Structure 1
Amino acid sequence: MRTLWTVSWLLVGLSGCDLIQQKLGLENPVVKAARLEAEGKAVGGGCRQSGRAIEDCYSIYSWLPKAAIYEGWRDMDGYMRENKLQTVEPQLPPPQPPGVKKKTRAPAAVETDAVAKDLPAAEPKADQPPDKAH
Protein backbone atom coordinates (compact mmCIF):
# COMPACT_ATOMS: atom_id res chain seq x y z
CA MET A 1 0.00 0.00 0.00
CA ARG A 2 2.83 2.38 0.88
CA THR A 3 4.55 1.73 -2.46
CA LEU A 4 1.36 2.39 -4.37
CA TRP A 5 0.88 5.67 -2.52
CA THR A 6 4.50 6.75 -3.28
CA VAL A 7 4.22 5.84 -6.94
CA SER A 8 0.93 7.69 -7.33
CA TRP A 9 2.42 10.87 -5.79
CA LEU A 10 5.46 10.53 -8.02
CA LEU A 11 3.27 10.27 -11.12
CA VAL A 12 1.22 13.30 -10.09
CA GLY A 13 4.39 15.29 -9.50
CA LEU A 14 6.00 14.27 -12.76
CA SER A 15 2.89 14.83 -14.87
CA GLY A 16 3.16 18.58 -14.26
CA CYS A 17 6.76 18.84 -15.43
CA ASP A 18 6.78 20.11 -19.02
CA LEU A 19 10.35 19.03 -19.63
CA ILE A 20 9.62 15.43 -18.74
CA GLN A 21 6.44 15.45 -20.80
CA GLN A 22 8.38 16.74 -23.82
CA LYS A 23 11.06 14.07 -23.39
CA LEU A 24 8.39 11.40 -23.28
CA GLY A 25 6.57 12.89 -26.27
CA LEU A 26 3.49 13.77 -24.24
CA GLU A 27 2.82 17.27 -25.54
CA ASN A 28 -0.47 18.98 -24.79
CA PRO A 29 -2.43 19.17 -28.08
CA VAL A 30 -3.46 22.79 -27.46
CA VAL A 31 0.14 23.84 -26.79
CA LYS A 32 1.36 21.91 -29.83
CA ALA A 33 -1.24 23.54 -32.09
CA ALA A 34 -0.28 27.00 -30.82
CA ARG A 35 3.41 26.28 -31.38
CA LEU A 36 2.83 25.00 -34.92
CA GLU A 37 0.61 28.02 -35.67
CA ALA A 38 3.34 30.43 -34.59
CA GLU A 39 6.01 28.52 -36.51
CA GLY A 40 3.81 28.46 -39.63
CA LYS A 41 3.30 32.23 -39.51
CA ALA A 42 7.03 32.81 -39.09
CA VAL A 43 7.87 30.43 -41.93
CA GLY A 44 5.26 32.01 -44.21
CA GLY A 45 6.64 35.49 -43.54
CA GLY A 46 10.16 34.28 -44.20
CA CYS A 47 9.09 32.62 -47.44
CA ARG A 48 7.48 35.84 -48.68
CA GLN A 49 10.45 37.96 -47.70
CA SER A 50 12.79 35.65 -49.59
CA GLY A 51 10.57 35.70 -52.68
CA ARG A 52 9.62 32.03 -52.42
CA ALA A 53 6.24 31.06 -53.89
CA ILE A 54 3.56 30.05 -51.40
CA GLU A 55 3.23 26.62 -53.05
CA ASP A 56 6.96 25.99 -52.59
CA CYS A 57 6.64 27.00 -48.98
CA TYR A 58 3.77 24.54 -48.50
CA SER A 59 5.76 21.66 -49.98
CA ILE A 60 9.00 22.42 -48.12
CA TYR A 61 7.28 22.84 -44.75
CA SER A 62 4.57 20.22 -45.18
CA TRP A 63 4.40 19.45 -41.45
CA LEU A 64 3.21 22.99 -40.64
CA PRO A 65 -0.43 24.07 -41.07
CA LYS A 66 -1.06 25.63 -44.48
CA ALA A 67 -3.42 28.23 -43.04
CA ALA A 68 -0.69 29.51 -40.70
CA ILE A 69 1.88 29.60 -43.51
CA TYR A 70 -0.55 31.51 -45.72
CA GLU A 71 -1.39 33.98 -42.97
CA GLY A 72 2.29 34.71 -42.33
CA TRP A 73 2.98 35.00 -46.07
CA ARG A 74 0.03 37.36 -46.57
CA ASP A 75 0.96 39.53 -43.59
CA MET A 76 4.55 39.87 -44.81
CA ASP A 77 3.34 40.62 -48.33
CA GLY A 78 1.22 43.51 -47.07
CA TYR A 79 4.06 44.80 -44.92
CA MET A 80 6.54 44.66 -47.79
CA ARG A 81 4.18 46.42 -50.20
CA GLU A 82 3.33 49.10 -47.66
CA ASN A 83 7.00 49.83 -46.91
CA LYS A 84 8.20 49.25 -50.50
CA LEU A 85 10.67 46.56 -49.46
CA GLN A 86 12.41 44.31 -51.97
CA THR A 87 12.75 40.56 -51.54
CA VAL A 88 15.89 39.21 -49.97
CA GLU A 89 17.33 36.38 -52.05
CA PRO A 90 18.11 33.32 -49.89
CA GLN A 91 21.80 32.42 -49.68
CA LEU A 92 21.22 28.81 -48.63
CA PRO A 93 19.09 26.12 -50.26
CA PRO A 94 15.77 25.39 -48.52
CA PRO A 95 15.89 22.76 -45.76
CA GLN A 96 14.86 19.20 -46.53
CA PRO A 97 11.47 18.09 -45.19
CA PRO A 98 11.61 15.56 -42.34
CA GLY A 99 12.11 11.99 -43.44
CA VAL A 100 14.14 12.86 -46.56
CA LYS A 101 17.61 11.38 -46.68
CA LYS A 102 20.44 13.83 -47.14
CA LYS A 103 22.76 13.37 -50.06
CA THR A 104 26.13 12.08 -48.93
CA ARG A 105 29.35 13.18 -50.51
CA ALA A 106 31.81 10.67 -51.86
CA PRO A 107 34.83 9.97 -49.66
CA ALA A 108 37.81 12.27 -50.18
CA ALA A 109 39.97 9.50 -51.68
CA VAL A 110 37.45 8.84 -54.45
CA GLU A 111 37.15 12.55 -55.23
CA THR A 112 40.94 12.89 -55.40
CA ASP A 113 41.20 10.01 -57.89
CA ALA A 114 38.46 11.51 -60.06
CA VAL A 115 40.13 14.91 -60.02
CA ALA A 116 43.53 13.38 -60.79
CA LYS A 117 42.14 11.70 -63.91
CA ASP A 118 40.91 15.05 -65.24
CA LEU A 119 44.23 16.84 -64.70
CA PRO A 120 46.86 16.84 -67.44
CA ALA A 121 50.10 14.97 -66.78
CA ALA A 122 52.67 17.01 -64.92
CA GLU A 123 55.33 18.54 -67.16
CA PRO A 124 58.89 17.40 -66.40
CA LYS A 125 61.14 20.02 -64.88
CA ALA A 126 63.87 21.45 -67.05
CA ASP A 127 66.69 19.83 -65.05
CA GLN A 128 65.09 16.34 -65.13
CA PRO A 129 65.08 14.08 -68.19
CA PRO A 130 61.61 13.20 -69.52
CA ASP A 131 60.27 9.72 -68.73
CA LYS A 132 60.50 7.25 -71.58
CA ALA A 133 57.27 5.67 -72.78
CA HIS A 134 56.87 1.97 -72.05
Structure 2
Amino acid sequence: MTPPRTVACYIRTPSYHSDALTQQIRITRQFLRTQLGAYASVIYCDEAHSGTTLDRPGLQSLLAHVEAGGVEAVVVAEYHRLSRIHTQLLTVQMKLERANVALWVAAPHPRLAPGLPRSAPHSFLYDAPIPEARP
Protein backbone atom coordinates (compact mmCIF):
# COMPACT_ATOMS: atom_id res chain seq x y z
CA MET A 1 0.00 0.00 0.00
CA THR A 2 1.34 3.40 -0.97
CA PRO A 3 1.04 5.84 1.93
CA PRO A 4 -1.01 8.98 1.29
CA ARG A 5 0.96 12.17 0.67
CA THR A 6 -1.04 14.48 2.93
CA VAL A 7 -2.17 13.01 6.23
CA ALA A 8 -3.93 15.01 8.94
CA CYS A 9 -4.32 13.84 12.52
CA TYR A 10 -7.20 15.14 14.59
CA ILE A 11 -6.88 15.27 18.37
CA ARG A 12 -9.60 16.37 20.83
CA THR A 13 -9.72 16.43 24.60
CA PRO A 14 -12.70 17.51 26.72
CA SER A 15 -10.48 19.31 29.21
CA TYR A 16 -7.00 20.80 29.52
CA HIS A 17 -5.07 17.60 30.02
CA SER A 18 -1.70 17.51 28.30
CA ASP A 19 -1.25 13.78 28.98
CA ALA A 20 -4.38 12.97 26.94
CA LEU A 21 -3.11 15.12 24.07
CA THR A 22 0.30 13.46 24.20
CA GLN A 23 -1.22 9.98 24.28
CA GLN A 24 -3.48 10.63 21.29
CA ILE A 25 -0.61 12.10 19.29
CA ARG A 26 1.59 9.13 20.18
CA ILE A 27 -1.06 6.60 19.21
CA THR A 28 -1.93 8.26 15.90
CA ARG A 29 1.74 8.69 14.96
CA GLN A 30 2.53 5.09 15.89
CA PHE A 31 -0.41 3.88 13.81
CA LEU A 32 0.77 5.92 10.83
CA ARG A 33 4.35 4.64 11.08
CA THR A 34 3.58 0.99 11.73
CA GLN A 35 0.43 0.44 9.67
CA LEU A 36 0.87 2.85 6.77
CA GLY A 37 4.54 3.78 6.69
CA ALA A 38 3.52 7.44 6.75
CA TYR A 39 3.90 10.53 8.92
CA ALA A 40 1.38 13.21 9.78
CA SER A 41 1.66 16.31 7.62
CA VAL A 42 -0.43 18.36 10.04
CA ILE A 43 -2.09 17.84 13.42
CA TYR A 44 -5.36 19.60 14.22
CA CYS A 45 -6.14 19.91 17.90
CA ASP A 46 -9.11 20.97 19.98
CA GLU A 47 -8.13 21.04 23.62
CA ALA A 48 -10.92 21.48 26.18
CA HIS A 49 -13.73 21.12 23.63
CA SER A 50 -16.80 18.96 23.97
CA GLY A 51 -17.38 16.12 21.55
CA THR A 52 -21.08 16.97 21.46
CA THR A 53 -20.69 19.84 19.00
CA LEU A 54 -18.99 20.19 15.63
CA ASP A 55 -18.34 23.88 16.32
CA ARG A 56 -14.67 23.43 17.22
CA PRO A 57 -11.90 25.54 15.66
CA GLY A 58 -9.52 22.64 14.99
CA LEU A 59 -12.21 20.44 13.45
CA GLN A 60 -13.53 23.29 11.31
CA SER A 61 -9.99 24.04 10.08
CA LEU A 62 -9.51 20.36 9.24
CA LEU A 63 -12.80 20.22 7.33
CA ALA A 64 -11.92 23.41 5.41
CA HIS A 65 -8.54 21.87 4.50
CA VAL A 66 -10.36 18.70 3.38
CA GLU A 67 -12.86 20.65 1.26
CA ALA A 68 -10.01 22.60 -0.35
CA GLY A 69 -8.46 19.31 -1.45
CA GLY A 70 -5.43 19.59 0.80
CA VAL A 71 -5.86 16.31 2.70
CA GLU A 72 -5.84 12.72 1.45
CA ALA A 73 -6.35 10.97 4.78
CA VAL A 74 -7.40 11.72 8.36
CA VAL A 75 -6.31 9.69 11.39
CA VAL A 76 -7.95 9.85 14.82
CA ALA A 77 -7.12 7.89 17.95
CA GLU A 78 -10.77 6.86 18.46
CA TYR A 79 -14.05 7.58 16.69
CA HIS A 80 -15.42 9.66 19.54
CA ARG A 81 -12.60 12.17 19.13
CA LEU A 82 -14.51 13.37 16.04
CA SER A 83 -17.90 13.40 17.75
CA ARG A 84 -19.77 11.70 20.55
CA ILE A 85 -23.08 12.09 18.70
CA HIS A 86 -23.69 9.50 16.01
CA THR A 87 -25.42 11.82 13.55
CA GLN A 88 -22.59 14.35 13.83
CA LEU A 89 -20.01 11.61 13.32
CA LEU A 90 -21.88 10.54 10.18
CA THR A 91 -21.89 14.16 8.98
CA VAL A 92 -18.11 14.35 9.32
CA GLN A 93 -17.65 10.94 7.68
CA MET A 94 -19.86 12.00 4.75
CA LYS A 95 -17.82 15.19 4.25
CA LEU A 96 -14.63 13.13 4.19
CA GLU A 97 -16.17 10.60 1.82
CA ARG A 98 -17.42 13.31 -0.57
CA ALA A 99 -13.89 14.72 -0.69
CA ASN A 100 -12.50 11.19 -1.26
CA VAL A 101 -10.53 11.39 2.00
CA ALA A 102 -9.76 8.19 3.89
CA LEU A 103 -10.55 8.02 7.62
CA TRP A 104 -8.42 5.75 9.77
CA VAL A 105 -9.03 5.04 13.44
CA ALA A 106 -5.86 4.07 15.28
CA ALA A 107 -7.62 2.44 18.24
CA PRO A 108 -11.24 1.75 17.32
CA HIS A 109 -11.95 0.05 20.65
CA PRO A 110 -10.76 1.74 23.86
CA ARG A 111 -10.15 -1.54 25.68
CA LEU A 112 -7.69 -2.58 22.99
CA ALA A 113 -5.65 0.60 23.17
CA PRO A 114 -3.10 0.54 25.96
CA GLY A 115 -2.07 4.03 26.93
CA LEU A 116 -5.36 5.74 26.10
CA PRO A 117 -7.59 6.79 28.97
CA ARG A 118 -10.46 4.34 29.37
CA SER A 119 -13.83 5.57 28.22
CA ALA A 120 -17.03 4.72 29.99
CA PRO A 121 -18.75 1.98 27.96
CA HIS A 122 -21.88 4.07 27.42
CA SER A 123 -19.87 6.93 25.94
CA PHE A 124 -18.06 4.98 23.25
CA LEU A 125 -19.62 4.64 19.84
CA TYR A 126 -20.64 1.11 18.87
CA ASP A 127 -19.69 -0.25 22.30
CA ALA A 128 -23.06 -0.33 24.03
CA PRO A 129 -24.41 -3.83 24.66
CA ILE A 130 -27.45 -4.83 22.65
CA PRO A 131 -30.44 -5.11 25.01
CA GLU A 132 -32.04 -8.52 25.15
CA ALA A 133 -35.60 -8.83 23.91
CA ARG A 134 -38.13 -9.19 26.68
CA PRO A 135 -40.98 -11.68 26.36
Query: Larger helix proportion, structure 1 or 2?
Result: 1
Query: How high is the TM-score relative to the length of structure 2?
Result: 0.23
Structure with bigger gyration radius: 1
TM-score when scaled to structure 1? 0.23
Higher relative contact order (CA 8 A, sep 6+): 2
